[in-house]
Structure 1
Amino acid sequence: MTVRTTMTAVTAAVLSLALAGPAVASAGDGDGDDHQATRRALDAAVADGVPGATATARSGHRVWSATAGVGDLDTGEPRSPRDHYRVASVAKTFVATVLLQLEAEGRLSLDDSVEKWLPGAVRGNGHDGSRITLRQLLNHTSGIFDYLADQDFQETYATSDGFFEHRYDEMSPEGLLAFAMANKPYFAPGEGWHYSNTNYVLSARVIEQATGRPYGAEIRRRIIAPLHLTGTSVPGTTPTLPRPSSRTYAKLAPTTTGPTYDVTEFNPALAYGGGEMISTSADLNRFYSALLRGRLLPPRQLKQMKTTVKVDRAPEAGYGLGLIDRRLSCGVHVWGHSGDIIGSVSEAVTTPDGRHSLAFNFNGNWSGDTDAVIEAEFCGE
């Protein structure tokens, strides 16, 4: 199961293996036969058309890493286990964690209305911020339209012509919200579930209103610095990736058989609180392990975070507050989040005790089975 958390739709495709290059694996400490199923799943993703993949798993004190395919289609340079990559909607867990920390400090309540913190921000075409709570933002039961699905936004940023003309555009959170408010809500607040990146643009703005600081600064102060996540950043408008990193690729069209474009550079603030962050597999494992072990939130707030609602068309999954619970085929439950942004698909999950974690990234977002990689790591033999 993949909960769709996209900037652009992921569709099936086949990219020539001659372009993708041979699978390359690099093992870390604790490597052995335990992860052969995961390695095969990474190779299968490359065979399916993903240019390259990088993954790191941690179980107790044992760490295993592997790569497959390439990080650069022109040079054939392989991916690195230490690659920095755009984590997209995985960032939502960081944003939700900060909001829950603020609740624990008594600085806000998840039952506060959006209108209380952001007067006038959610109005128009049936949207009413006075009827929507912060909790409903975090678990996607607000009904607010997803600005990424707005037709004008799609034409401007998600087509080949539009992307290359506008990829460095400066866009404020209020500008992103305007795309959402130009459309009708999906449903009345609390009467359904629909994934909407607008919810986390608003959540990030609430953090800023409650603290008087940029939401990225709060993530750095409260999560990145204490956990020593040296490969993790909230880049703002910086369009490049830190080194080491790979090139990223997209089709920028509904078809999966057309040209493949290098989309490595763009202004990540177009995703804002919904997914502008950059990280590494090792950092994501450290973050989710610490979160599930209670190092970032008091028990009450962690319990709230893990209180899930049903996800449309995914009976094996539940969505909490920026955190997804998945029941795998072997009965194992893992907590984490997925992310999909132009040119990059990421997954980060961990067991409820935080002892067994997996994070990985594909540097192309039109093919590849992320579910198969997760199933292989936690259920494979």
Structure 2
Amino acid sequence: MTHTAKNTSRMTRVFRRMGVTALAVTLLAGAATPGVATAEVSKDRPELQQAVQAWVDAGFAGMQMRVHDQRGDWVGSAGVRKLGAAAKPPTNGRFWIGSTTKTFTATLVLQLVAEGKVGLDAPVAGYLPELGVDSRITVRMLLQHTSGLFNYTGDVYDGKYEPGIAAVGKDWVDNRFHYYRPVELVRLALAKPLTFQPGTDQNYSNTNFTLALLLVEKVTGHSYDEEMKRRILWPLGLWATKVPGTSPQLPGPHAHGYFRYQDAGEWKVVDVTHQNLSLLAGAGDMISTTEDLRTFFSALLGGKLLPAPLLAEMRKPVGKFSLGLGLWVQDLGPGCGTIVHHNGSPPGGYGAFMMSTPDGSKMLTASVTMGDAAIDPATEYRKALDGLLKTVFCGGQG
């Protein structure tokens, strides 16, 4: 089975378990040159506009997308900014980036590794002894999801699903403004048995990156937000990218995201543009734009944020999911090549994409919003994503 088939199969299982709201699991990466002006929609790129429109035709509310390749830069959108309105999603709109946050967090940790303040293969327990983390779990295991730590939003033991904090359905809707402290999330996970012995398997777990947040704070003596601003956001001029903390607001221009769920056997739709993502601290809580994501990934892949040896470690795939350190590595097959990526979404409403060839010659960043259509997101997402990948990275070829 190819990496693409494996990732698609896994994503389908996640969608079916989580319902119609999930857009998270894997894709992201990016590259370009920071500071380069982005062109408005090019009339000679109808294939890109069609790829965006395909998401709307599939039942999603809207999409904004930014592409950089050998023909230059393109940005466009399709669908609606808000249900019941005619305006398109803003191409400079902010959105919840979900698990794309993990690449930012991994970069922070690896910068500390580069400075000799953290050992990549050192036990996490040595930095955070008060938490009682298994002494076999290393920093590397957190970043490549090989720790075996229970995912605090729910996980699987021997094929049986064990619930955690509600991140789907009516329970999440009713609780979506609750504030969680990072240490609270980690302690919940640590109270559960390991899903496997550290280093022997691979399992995508938000706990790994919330624990990485605590590691950053402990080692630096500063908040995760402060370190993110000082090390990444401010040096790169990512003024639209935020660590929201306790705030449920989505500031600036943005498209609305919706959540479709069942309540007492009846389907309902709620606007979830505002939500408190402290539920995914360090693992999926950030806000950004397609331009900022492009600038961030350009700097990362271009060696501006990490020394070459650590960047190589970050992009080295391991395990059954071909995960590096906060990045996924995916072979798209003949004629398409390899991409690095990490997409994401909060529990409902939004999806984020950052995908790139390793050298940054082709790069895509985008945001898609859920609407009120009665669709199977697993099926429609897979179809639309397949078309998007072929258009941008395979020259439109199947």
Alignment of 1:361-376 (within 5 A): 361-364=367-370, 366=377, 367-368=380-381, 369-376=384-391
Quick check: 2:336–2:393 contact (8 Å CA) kept in 1? no
Distance between the aligned counterparts of 1:190 and 1:355, measured in 2?
Answer: 34
Deviation at 1:68, TM superposition (A): 1.2
Using the aligned pairs only, state the percent identity.
Answer: 34
Q: RMSD over aligned Cα, in angstroms? A: 2.7
Quick check: 1:308–1:320 contact (8 Å CA) kept in 2? yes
CA separation of 1:198 and 1:178: change in aligned 2, threshold 3 A: same
Q: How many pairs does the alignment contain? A: 355
One-letter amino acid of the structure 1 residue matched with residue 81 of structure 2:
G
One-letter amino acid of the structure 2 residue matched with residue 349 of structure 1:
M
Counterpart of 1:186 (choices 190, 195, 199) is 195
Counterpart check, 1:275 vs 2:290: no
Further displaced range: 107-116 or 39-48 = 39-48
Counterpart of 2:301 (choices 282, 292, 310) is 292
* Residue-by-residue CA offset, 1:123-150 (whole Å, 9 max, x unaligned): xxxxx52110000000001011111116
Counterpart check, 1:379 vs 2:394: yes
Distance between the aligned counterparts of 1:184 and 1:110, measured in 2?
Answer: 24
Structure 1 match to 2:108: 98
Alignment of 1:105-120 (within 5 A): 105-120=115-130
Deviation at 1:325, TM superposition (A): 1.2
- Structure 1 residue matching 2:339: 3-state secondary structure: strand
Counterpart of 1:357 (choices 363, 377, 386) is 363
* Residue-by-residue CA offset, 1:242-300 (whole Å, 9 max, x unaligned): 11001111224599993222111111211100011100001111111111110111111
Deviation at 1:111, TM superposition (A): 1.1
CA separation of 1:359 and 1:337: change in aligned 2, threshold 3 A: same
- Structure 1 residue matching 2:342: 3-state secondary structure: strand
Counterpart check, 1:159 vs 2:169: yes
CA separation of 1:348 and 1:332: change in aligned 2, threshold 3 A: same
Task: Structure 1: state its 5+ residue gaps.
Answer: 14-26, 123-127, 313-317
One-letter amino acid of the structure 2 residue matched with residue 259 of structure 1:
K
Structure 2 match to 1:38: 48
- Structure 2 residue matching 1:80: 3-state secondary structure: coil
- Structure 2 residue matching 1:373: 3-state secondary structure: helix
- Structure 2 residue matching 1:338: 3-state secondary structure: coil
- Structure 2 residue matching 1:310: 3-state secondary structure: coil
* Residue-by-residue CA offset, 1:47-81 (whole Å, 9 max, x unaligned): 11111111011236822011111120132332011
Structure 2 match to 1:315: none
- Structure 1 residue matching 2:268: 3-state secondary structure: coil
After TM superposition, the score normalised by the length of structure 1 is 0.85
One-letter amino acid of the structure 1 residue matched with residue 342 of structure 2:
H
- Structure 2 residue matching 1:224: 3-state secondary structure: helix
CA separation of 1:97 and 1:46: change in aligned 2, threshold 3 A: same
Task: Structure 2: state its 5+ residue gaps.
Answer: 22-37, 156-161, 372-376
- Structure 1 residue matching 2:267: 3-state secondary structure: coil
Quick check: 1:347–1:370 contact (8 Å CA) kept in 2? no
CA separation of 1:236 and 1:61: change in aligned 2, threshold 3 A: farther
Alignment of 1:68-107 (within 5 A): 68-107=78-117
Deviation at 1:324, TM superposition (A): 1.1
Distance between the aligned counterparts of 1:225 and 1:234, measured in 2?
Answer: 13
Alignment of 1:1-381 (within 5 A): 1=4, 2=7, 4=11, 28-29=39-40, 31-33=42-44, 35-59=45-69, 62-122=72-132, 128-149=133-154, 153-155=164-166, 157-160=167-170, 162-253=171-262, 258-312=267-321, 318-329=322-333, 330-341=335-346, 342-364=348-370, 366=377, 367-368=380-381, 369-381=384-396
* Residue-by-residue CA offset, 1:160-215 (whole Å, 9 max, x unaligned): 2x234322212111221233234322110010111001000000110001100111
Distance between the aligned counterparts of 1:10 and 1:357, measured in 2?
Answer: 29
- Which runs of 4 or more aligned residues in structure 1 lie more than 6 Å from their structure 2 counterparts after TM superposition? 5-8, 254-257
Quick check: 2:152–2:165 contact (8 Å CA) kept in 1? no
CA separation of 1:253 and 1:305: change in aligned 2, threshold 3 A: farther
CA separation of 1:252 and 1:112: change in aligned 2, threshold 3 A: farther
Distance between the aligned counterparts of 2:130 and 2:71, measured in 1?
Answer: 49
Quick check: 1:30–1:62 contact (8 Å CA) kept in 2? no
One-letter amino acid of the structure 2 residue matched with residue 93 of structure 1:
T
Distance between the aligned counterparts of 2:205 and 2:11, measured in 1?
Answer: 10
Distance between the aligned counterparts of 2:15 and 2:219, measured in 1?
Answer: 28
Distance between the aligned counterparts of 2:116 and 2:39, measured in 1?
Answer: 43
Distance between the aligned counterparts of 2:393 and 2:65, measured in 1?
Answer: 14
Further displaced range: 365-374 or 344-353 = 365-374
Distance between the aligned counterparts of 1:133 and 1:371, measured in 2?
Answer: 35
Greater relative contact order, per chain length (Cα 8 Å cut-off, separation 6+): 2
Quick check: 1:41–1:373 contact (8 Å CA) kept in 2? yes
